[in-house]
Amino acid sequence: MKDQGGRVPAPEGLLQQFATDPEAADREVFGRVACADRRGFLKGAGLATMSAMLGATIPFARNMPSGFIPVALAEEALAGIAGKEGLALLGDKPLNLETPAHLLDDAVTSTARHFVRNHGTVPENVDAAAWTLTIDGEVTHPLTLTIADLKQKFPVVSQQAVIECGGNGRAFFNPPTKGNQWTVGAVGCAKWTGVRLADILKAAGVKPSAVYTAHHGADRDLADPNKPALSRGIPIEKALEPHTLVAFAMNDGPIHPQHGHPLRLVVPGWVGSASQKWLNRIELRNVVHDGKGMTGKSYRLPARPLQPGEETTDALFTRIITAMPVKSLITAPPSGHVVSKAGKGIEVRGHAWAGENVVRDVALSIDFGATWIRAQLAEPANKYAWQRWHVQITFPTEGYYEIWARATDDKENVQPFAVSWNPGGFLGNVMHRIAVRVA
């Protein structure tokens, strides 16, 4: 049965089938058994069926990996619920909103299009003029500062900074892991204005015994309002790094309530949960902080590689997530774009970022990774801002294509086709893929 566009709709549970038993899914959907030989794959009726589902032939089908699912079919199965400003709603208790990739095309992410990741309740009836930030713990001069004090006593600075959820890309883990099933849009690069955390800590007098920060916010646990929703921290070295900010403005205006109004941390390049929202206290500790989100498996990786689906214990999770990995994002054209004819060039563009590192190269493929086209890559606006890239691409014949984007950083880290599995679904940085049809 075809839809109004002439395509055979994807069957129910397509992604789940491929996640749990790809060979069985291949037999059911495409009438074949997946094999390791890439050139012996998707022959005859199998390829015809897939092409019918896509509404186009697949010129580079011989290069497709075994067990492969076209991104166009994946997007149909992953279609989310429309949220405010076109964001997809992943959950409402707490509120979590993902931004579709094509809405992230601007060099600076607007407040309306910045993803939302919350852990608990959002503070209500906030009086910014009366808000205070306390600095205590391993300091010689504990401080309590209003936002007016911050603006008057310390240099005010602005910078663009990538903030990315540690679970961005979790939807592509196989087998699936628990948590919000972010695809690629739990990331943004807004302009943040505030004061350097280092300047505040120096005024408070950091004791030699201080090794870690402990962040505290006004958001509360959903089940127990007497408990914090989240309380993470960072090593003192990162706290003293000049790009770590206590921010009171976002994109030249007040911080949006969902993004931490009136005060938040911005810890650029690191996992987003380190950038505590609704910030009201920073405690310096002489041990690694053990607040909510810092113990057990929370925002941690195992000490060794795991087999997909391997059973684990908390004792194995010794690596606290810090910097985010190298990644790229295609923001134009949107996935599903139709090119009017073969031989017509289109501009493909997007962003790339690399945590503590700098992106050195971005390359794109239209033949399932057989060959690569190098993009023109810009320098970041400042350290920790993402980098803009663009390239002209021409498609040789009519049919269904995928554009794959792969970034490499200055430490020779390269985006993979498939990410190393971990049970938290963290640090997913698989190559971004979009679908294009040439009419």
Angle between helices 22-30 and 44-54 (to 10 degrees): 80
Q: What does the pLDDT look like over 308-330, one tens digit per residue? A: 999 999 999 999 999 999 999 99
pLDDT of residue 57: 83
Query: pLDDT band for position 386 (50/70/90)?
Result: very high
- Specify which residues 110 forms β-bridges with: none
pLDDT of residue 46: 62
pLDDT of residue 81: 31
Q: 327-438 — its CATH code? A: 2.60.40.650
- Cα 129 to Cα 152, 192, 197, 217, 262: the distances in Å are 14, 19, 20, 17, 9
- What is the residue extent of each domain of the chain? 14-68, 95-320, 327-438
Whole-prediction pTM: 0.83
pLDDT of residue 68: 64
Exposure of 303 by Cβ count < 10 A (0-12 exposed, 13-18 middle, 19+ buried)? Answer: exposed
Rounded CA separation 274/352 (Å): 21
Q: What does the pLDDT look like over 170-186, one tens digit per residue? A: 999 999 999 999 999 99
Q: What does the pLDDT look like over 199-257, one tens digit per residue? A: 999 999 999 999 999 999 999 999 999 999 999 999 999 999 999 999 999 999 999 99
Helix (H, G, I), strand (E, B) or coil at 153: helix
Note the CATH architecture for domain 95-320. Alpha-Beta Complex (3.90)
Q: What is the mean pLDDT of the chain?
A: 87
Helix (H, G, I), strand (E, B) or coil at 62: helix
On the question of pLDDT at 304 being above 60, the answer is yes
Beta-strand relationship, 132-137 and 279-285: parallel
Helix (H, G, I), strand (E, B) or coil at 327: strand
Give kind and range of the element (H or E) at residue 378. Answer: none
Q: What is the mean pLDDT of residues 328-351?
A: 96
Give kind and range of the element (H or E) at residue 241. Answer: none
On the question of pLDDT at 24 being above 70, the answer is no
Query: pLDDT band for position 71 (50/70/90)?
Result: low
**Which percentage of the chain shows pLDDT scores above 90?**
77
On the question of pLDDT at 42 being above 60, the answer is no
**Which percentage of the chain shows pLDDT scores above 70?**
84
Rounded CA separation 266/243 (Å): 8
Rounded CA separation 414/390 (Å): 18
Q: What does the pLDDT look like over 76-135, one tens digit per residue? A: 443 433 334 688 888 888 989 999 999 999 999 999 999 999 999 999 999 999 999 999
Look at 42-51, 115-124, 359-368 and tell me which has the smallest mean pLDDT: 42-51
Q: What does the pLDDT look like over 256-295, one tens digit per residue? A: 999 999 999 999 999 999 999 999 999 999 999 999 999 9
pLDDT of residue 72: 67
On the question of pLDDT at 69 being above 70, the answer is no
Only one residue has tokens 């609704």, namely 278
pLDDT of residue 82: 34
Shared fold status for 95-320 and 327-438: no
